[in-house]
Every structure is written in structure tokens, then in C-alpha cells.
Amino acid sequence: MGKWPQITPPKARKSPVLHHRHGQSFTDNYHWLRDNNWPEVVRNPKTLSTEIREHLLTENNYTEKMLAGTTILVQQLVDEMKGRMTDKLQQVPARDGNWFYNSKYLSGSEHPQFVRYPALNDQKADLNNEQILLDCNSRSKESEFYQLGEFTHSPDHSKIAWSEDVKGSEFFEIFTCDLATSEISSTGICTASDDLVWLSDSSSLLWIWRDENSRPKQVRLHILGTDPATDQVLYTEDDNGFFLGLDQTSDHKYALINCNDHQTSEIWTIDLAPTKTKPNCLWPRRIAIEASADHLDGKFTLLTNDDDAKDFQVIRISASDPCRDKQETLVPHNPGILILGQQQFSKFHVRIERENALPRIIIRQEENGTEQHLKFDDAAYALGLEGGFEFDTDILRFAISSPSRPQEIYDYNMRSHSRKILQQQQIPSGHNTDDYEVKRIYAPANDGQMIPVTLLSRRDAQPDTAKPVLLYGYGAYGYSIPASFSSNRLSLVDRGFVFAIAHIRGGKEKGFSWYEKGRREHKKNSFTDFINVAEHLIDQGITQQGKIIAQGGSAGGLLMGAVANLRPDLFAGFIAQVPFVDVLNTMSDETLPLTPPEWPEWGNPVASFSDYQTIANYCPITNVSDLDYPPILATAGLCDTRVTWWEPAKWIAALRDKAPKGGPYLLKTEMSAGHGGASGRYAGLQEIAEAQAFSLHVVKEQPNSTQL
């Protein structure tokens, strides 16, 4: 292990608060790190209490000194990562009527610029007549943080609207611009979610109002030029356990109000004609039944797990009489083949399926029901639909990449079955896919299940030598980690590391049951799966004990904390980014914005003694003990409303107090950022480089100058 400076770490004062649940008690020694004024703090960080601010800054200073020996390496890594990024980056234009819309990054810019081009008679974009619609770089100059939410043009192409967050708190402000005059107008809406939908006459917008606890609660209709205080409330969500989202159907006829927690869906529709804005319930909520909708010719196409379709099915119901008794099955349930998503076209229905952790595209012709499959030969890869504005088209746009192969974007003609490559991700400093090897292996779990593992390594790495591994995991919310390309990973891989993704239970890589067996009372499977993957990599001679760095963020940070408590000896270090580690306290605090919606995922320790026991048995902070933990690097964001800053701060304090012989334990808090860290195309590279430098340091892997 690399040497660490002999510096005394910060010591957080203890001020015990005793909590009582179901006749049980547990102590929170660092409750004071939770500012009672936290809802204001995430919107205005200057209001943070002096004591907490000083503690976080002291932690930042300690981390900076402890990592001072990696400063040169961090800069090398940042420079390498920048060298792999195209200085000027332009996406592929997408047609909508008489215009092609696009976004691009100018040389050295952190944020995108949105543009459009007139459509020529040959169906191509007139690239010589570019119109700049919005320059987010100019918008970002007045604030330390800038995040664009949604950008959307009006149906008549005369206006644009967008949402932006300048604090990292995810409270968005909404702006519009008249493209004829280039006049930007503030709507006065400043407590919104990022979602926006235009009405068909281009005079009004649908948006979502967030309450003081950052919960999305109401769908409102804003008429441009009017006082938002007079906006009509179209829908109110009374259940604090449900999120609200806005979308629209592919034919642009309906807005979709999506109400959901982590296991239940409800869908309301709004006709986008300006005289028909009354919401109608398309799909009432029923516990553990999920659905998403699209529309075609008076019928809604629904992707749902209703009728015991655990891996989902596709059905159709009438828009005028949405009765399930009259539903038509379009794609029946096929156990073990998970339907991930759908896109409706006027003549085709497209879906993405996943089987055994590998995705594929299925295209169904509406007129005769015949299907065609798009499959790919990579050992592991990521696949996604690129959407688009046009409904009546034969063209499907998709993107594909693998851990070794940069992303490629294709237009696929669904009628002629021909494909055309539109763009391939360029690596200016050079990249040869053949220099790297991608493998998909399977690690046995404790109960005999086989856990998919994606591996990326250099082909010219020394054979039969145990290599250092960065093992990444998440395992929550049914989210599956894609086997996609990231040029940033190459800096570690070029230095001899193997980059590995453990596709553990809690995701949906192997179907919905893979998710079910990694949540609530089965949550421990996520932790033991990750440990089993690490053990398998050792057993196979790929690495050895003490050469594995474990990394995860948010719910993946919970994974890091739990695994550290279970098997600290197995790992050289842990990187926990905005880690959800104070699970028992957070899931017991109904005032936090995400607590009620999270109960279906983790359990409700307030109402259920069983849930309380389950969470208490794995909660990272609750289970810190006097073990020889390896070095741990944790990050936090002061404006983060998802995982609040005090969670990693309390965890690091508990580790130093209860396990002083381990570590060191490092905490870095971004004082003007939220859950996603620093904003901007280049700004986020610093955090990635610091994590990689930490990894290299703790396994004593120094950079090889011939590989820089």
C-alpha cells in the first residue's frame, strides 16, 4: 500500500441522540451534522451553520493534505482524459418538420449550445445556415454551478423553453425565448422539476411544482406572459411516497403524468390540444403494478407487469374506453426475457429486451405483426434508442458501444432493414479497440446463482499475473449497469488495472427477479454477490487479495459501506461517492424528500419491525466496528437533496471513532454542488482523476510514462 502522510485527522464531536423504534434503541452520535435548516441550505449554501461548515472544510483540508502526493498524477490523469475528448463535439441533427435540431460543444466549453438548421429539399440539413437557439455556456457564467434540465422547442418552431438549476439543489427555474426576436423571458417559475411539455398551440407549458421539501407535487399549466401565481393546477399528488414526472407520447398528442414509487405506477393523460387540458386517469395505481405508455391511432400501448407478467408484456387499450377487460396483448410475457422499454412509430412498434444481461432491439411491423431482431456480437455491450421528433418515419436511430469500442450511432431503416452509421465517437489522442479485451464471466453466488461480471483489460498486459482491479457495483432500484464505453477508464486500464462491473442482484440484468432478490428483506444478496465476485476474481487468478479497489455511488455507496463492514480484508480500498450510508436514520425520517418514496425499495422501519431489523442489520453507520478497514475515500455534495451531506460526514466520523487502526478515512465535500458533483463537461474530470489516483496509490501502482 502507498505511504500516507502522518497527519492527525479531524475529530467530530459527539453529541449523542437516542432514537427509539419498536422497543429498540439506537444512538446517533453525530446528529448535529444534520442542519435543521437543511431545506434552505441546499438552495442557499451560505445559510449552513458555522460549526458544520467549519467541520466540512476541515475535512476537505485534511483530504487535500493526505492526497497531496497524488497531485501531479491527478493532473496527468485529467490531461489524459481531456486528450481523449473531442474539443469540439457535435451530436447528430434530428429532423422535426422543416428543421433539424442539434446540440454541440464549442472548443473548450463546459456546457452545450443548442442550434438548428433548415431542412433542404433532399431531406438533409442545410448546415451552412445555422441558427443558435441557446448557449448554456453564456448562461452558466453567473454561477459556480450550472445544470441544464430540459430543452424543448415549441410545436410551431417559434419558441424554445428550458429549465436550469444554478445551485445543484434540483430546484429548476424555467425560461423561454421568442426565436424571432431572440428575447429571453423568465417565467418567474423557480421551484420546478426539470420536466417541460408544450401544448399544441405553442402558447402554454406544462410543468411540475416542487414543495419546500423538494418533492414534486403538482402539474401546473403556465400560459406564457402570465404571472405563475395564476397557473392552473391540473393535478396534485397527495401521497408523499410518489414521484411525479411529465412526458409526452411519440405522436405528440398527449402529455403523460407519470406517478410512481419504486414498485407502483399510475398514469394520467392530458390532451395537448389547448381546449382539452383536463387530466384523465389511464392507469390507476395498484400496489406493485408498473406501467409506461405510448399512443397510436386512438389506442395506448402499455408496457406493464400486470397479470403476473414479471418480466413485462406489451398491451393495447382504447384511449376512449381504457378498460383492462378489453385489452389486446401485443407482446406476451416471456419469463426470463425482460422488456426494458418501447418506442411507438406510426407503422412500427420498437422494444428493447434483455436476456442474460445482454440487450437486443425488436421491431414489430404494425400492419402484419412480423418482427425483426437486431442482435450484436460483442461479449458485452450497451444499447439504447436515440429517440427523435418524428412519428411517421421508417427510420430508427440507436446507439451502441462496448467497454472497448467507442459509441456508434446508426440510422436503421425498419422497412428495408438497412443501417447507416452516422457518427462514431472519436478519441483525438488515439484509440485502438484491438488493444483491449472485453470478457463476460460468471461468478457463483452463495446460493448457486451465477452473477454476470464484465471485464475490461489490455491485451498486452503481462499474462498469468494477478492484476489490480477496480470493481464497480450498484445493485439497487432495478437499475442495470450498462457495459458501455468510457474513455476515462482507459487511464487505469493502461496502467495495468482490470476494470470490472459486478452485475449484482438489485439490478435487472437477469430479469425482474434479479431485482426482487436484491431489495428489502433480500438486500443482503447485493452485498454477498459483490463479495462473491471479488472472491471469484481472486480464485481465477485475475487478481489477488489486497489488490481490489471497490467503487460505488449513491445506493452503490451503501453497497460500499455494507461490504466494508462484512469483508474489509478482501479489498485494498473503497471509493464511495455520495454514499447512502445512514440508512436507518434516513428511512426513519419522514421529513426528508426521498424517504416516503424510498420505502418500497428499502422497507419502512417506522411502520414495520421486520423492516427495522433488516435495515439495522446492514446499515453501514450502525454496523461500523473495530475492524482493520482499508483506506476509504468518500465524497458529498452540500446541495444534494438525494443523499444529504451529513450521511458520508457521519460515516467517516464513526469510522475514525470506532476503527482507529484502519484507514485513512477521507471525505471531500463539494460546497456548491449536488448529487452529480461538479457541473460541466470538463469539471467532473477532477473527481474521476482523484478517485483513480487514490486507487493507484493504495495498490502502489505508479504510472508508467511509456503509457501516458
Q: Annotated catalytic sites, by residue?
A: 554, 640, 675
Q: What stretches of 540-659 show up as alpha helix (H) in DSSP? A: 555-566, 583-587, 595-602, 609-618, 646-658
How many whole angstroms from its chain centre is CA 492? 22
Q: How far apart are CA 135 and CA 179, in angstroms?
A: 13
Contact 196/207 with Cβ under 8 angstroms?
yes
What is the crossing angle of helices 524-539 and 555-566, to 10°? 70
Residue with cell 434483455: 354
Q: How far apart are CA 361 and CA 364, in angstroms?
A: 10
Strand order in the sheet with 280-283: 243-248, 254-260, 265-271, 280-283
Contact 117/130 with Cβ under 8 angstroms?
yes
In order of 131, 151, 164, 274, 280, the CA distances from 200 in angstroms are 23, 17, 23, 7, 18
Residue with cell 459556480: 144
Residue with cell 422497412: 415
Which residue in 281, 291, 273 sits closest to 206, CA to CA? 273
Q: How far apart are CA 527 and CA 561, in angstroms?
A: 10
Residue with cell 457541473: 679
DSSP 8: P
**What phi and psi, each to the nearest 5 degrees, are found at residue 627?**
-115, 165
Which residues face 115 on adjacent strands? 102, 132
74 three-state secondary structure: helix
Neighbours of 663 (CB within 10 A): 19
Which residue in 679, 676, 665 sits closest to 66, CA to CA? 665
**What phi and psi, each to the nearest 5 degrees, are found at residue 340?**
-90, -35
All cell numbers assigned to 130: 445555422
Q: How far apart are CA 393 and CA 223, in angstroms?
A: 32
Contact 300/350 with Cβ under 8 angstroms?
no
Any residues with CB less than 8 A from the CB of 211 and at least 6 apart, and which? 191, 217
Which residue in 298, 292, 294, 316 sits closest to 249, CA to CA? 294
Stated as kind and residue range, the H or E segment containing 538 is: helix 524-539
Strand order in the sheet with 419-424: 382-385, 395-401, 408-413, 419-424
The residue type found at 446 is: N
Which residue in 383, 428, 450 sits closest to 410, CA to CA? 383
Q: How far apart are CA 375 and CA 352, in angstroms?
A: 11
Question: Per residue in 177-212, is it b (16+ CB within 10 Å) or e — as a string?
Answer: beeeeeeeeebebebbbbbbbbbbebebbbbbbbee
